[in-house]
Amino acid sequence: MNPVNGSGMKRAALLNDLSCFGKCSLTVAAPVVSAWGVEAVPLPTAVLSAQTAFPGYIMRDFTREMEEFSAQWETLGLEFDCIYTGFFANGAQIDFARRFIERFAKDDTLILVDPVLGDNGALYGCFGPEQVEKMRQLCRMAHVITPNRTEAALLAGLPADTPAEELLAALRARLEVENTIVTGVCRENEIGYLARLGEREMSLQYPRVAQTLHGTGDVFAAALCGALLSCGEAPAALRQAAEFCNACVEKTAQRQPAHWYGLAFEDVLKERSGL
C-alpha cells in the first residue's frame, strides 16, 4: 500500500455531526479547516437532513459507523495532528471519542474539544446529567476547550449566570485544561471571547448584531483548529479565529433576513483565497 502519512500537510480528524442543510458542524468545519491548509478527515457522529433549528429534521445515529470507520483507519495507519470533537448524539459516542483519542493521538497531537451541550442557559433536550459528566471526562483529555457560556456553566457545575471570569477559574480547577476559551461572552453592546491560555488571560470583543445567528461556535472552533495547526501559538490563533468569525458575522448581517440559519463563511473564504 502507498504511504498515507508524511505528506507535509497537517491532518485533523473531525468528530462531529453532518447537518446536510443549515451551515454548521461538518459542513462548516471541513472547508474552514481546509482553508488553513489542513487536511480534513470527517468522522460523522450523526447525519441530519437539516440542522436542529428546522422543524421536522431527520437524524441518523452513526455510532456503529464511527466504530467501523475508525477500525479501517487503524488498518491504514492513519496519523492525526489534531483530533477535534463537536456534537455527539449520545453518551456512548463520547466514550468512543475518548477511546479514539487513546488510539490515534500521538504525543504531539492537538486535542480540541468543543463541548456541545446547550445554549441560552439550558442543556439541550437530548442530553442529561450523564452526558455532562462524560463531557467533563473528555475535556480532561483536551489541550483546548471552547465552551459557550452555558456549556462552561454546565461543565463547572455552576449557575448559568455565573460571571465568565469565575467560570474560567472553576473550569481550570475542575477540569485541569491548559487552555479554555469561553465564547458568547456579552459586555453591553459587544460579544466575544474570554480565554485562559496557559497563565495568560485574553478578552476579545466585537459589536453585537441584532440577529440571532446559528453556527457561530462551529465556525470559530473550526477556524481555531486551523489556526492552531498553522501558527502553533494559542494567543495568535485565538485572534485569527475570532477575527475570521467576526468577518463571517458581518457578511451574514448583510444577507438578512433569509440567511439566519448559519454564517456566510463562504464569502470570507472567497476573499481570503483572492478569487
- pLDDT digit string, tens, across residues 240-249: 999 999 999 9
Residue 2 is assigned to a structural domain of this protein: no
Q: Is the pLDDT of residue 231 over 90?
A: no
Q: Which of 27, 40, 24 is nearest to 225 (CA)?
A: 40
Looking at residue 39, its pLDDT comes to 98
Sign, CA dihedral 173-115-196-112, equals positive
In a domain, 105, yes or no: yes
**pLDDT exceeds 80 at position 233:** yes
Band of pLDDT at residue 274, cut at 50, 70 and 90: confident
- Annotate 159-184 with b (16+ C-beta within 10 A) or e (fewer): ebeeebeebbebbeeebebebbbbbb
Instruction: Give the pLDDT mean for 105-121.
Output: 96
Task: With cut-offs at 50, 70 and 90, classify the pLDDT of residue 110.
Answer: very high
d(CA 139, CA 111): 9
Residue with more model confidence, 15 or 53 = 15
- pLDDT bucket at 20, cuts 50 / 70 / 90: very high
The C-alpha atoms of residue 138 and residue 63 are separated, in whole angstroms, by 17
- Residue/partner pairs of 181-188 with CB below 8 Å, 24 or more apart: 181/144, 181/145, 181/146, 181/224, 181/238, 182/147, 182/148, 182/149, 182/152, 183/146, 183/147, 183/148, 183/149, 183/216, 183/217, 183/220, 184/119, 184/148, 184/149, 184/216, 184/217, 185/149
Is 4 part of a structural domain of the chain?
Answer: no
Distance of CA 111 to the CA centre of its chain: 11
Chain centroid to CA 216: 10
Looking only at the bridges linking them, the beta strands covering 82-85 and 110-113 are parallel
Tell me whether residue 230 is in a domain.
Answer: yes
What's the pLDDT band for 186 if we cut at 50, 70, 90?
very high
- Backbone phi and psi for residue 33, each to the nearest 5 degrees, phi listed first: -60, -40
Residue 244 maps to a domain = yes
What is the per-residue pLDDT across 138-172, written as a single tens digit (0 to 9) for each?
999 999 999 999 999 999 999 999 999 999 999 99
Res 170: pLDDT:
96
Domain carrying residue 118? 11-269
pLDDT of residue 212: 82
Grid coordinates of 137: 471526562
In a domain, 106, yes or no: yes
Find the mean pLDDT for residues 194-201: 96
Is residue 126 very low, low, confident or very high in pLDDT (cuts 50, 70, 90)? confident
Count of structural domains within the chain: 1
Does residue 147 form part of some domain? yes
pLDDT at 273: 80
pLDDT over threshold 90, residue 213: no
Residue 181 resides in a domain: yes
Of 3, 27, 201, 13, nearest to 110 by C-alpha is 13
pLDDT interval class at 125 (50, 70, 90): confident
Q: What is the CATH number of the domain that holds 247?
A: 3.40.1190.20
Select from 149, 88, 138, 140 the least CA-distant residue to 116: 88
The rounded mean pLDDT for the chain is 95
The letter for the amino acid at 1 is: M
User: pLDDT for 253-264, tens place per residue?
Assistant: 999 999 999 999
Count of residues in the chain: 275
Is residue 103 very low, low, confident or very high in pLDDT (cuts 50, 70, 90)? very high
Asked if residue 275 has pLDDT above 80, the reply is no
Residue type at 21 in one-letter notation: F
**Mean pLDDT, residues 63-78 taken together:** 98
Segment 3-12 mean pLDDT? 95
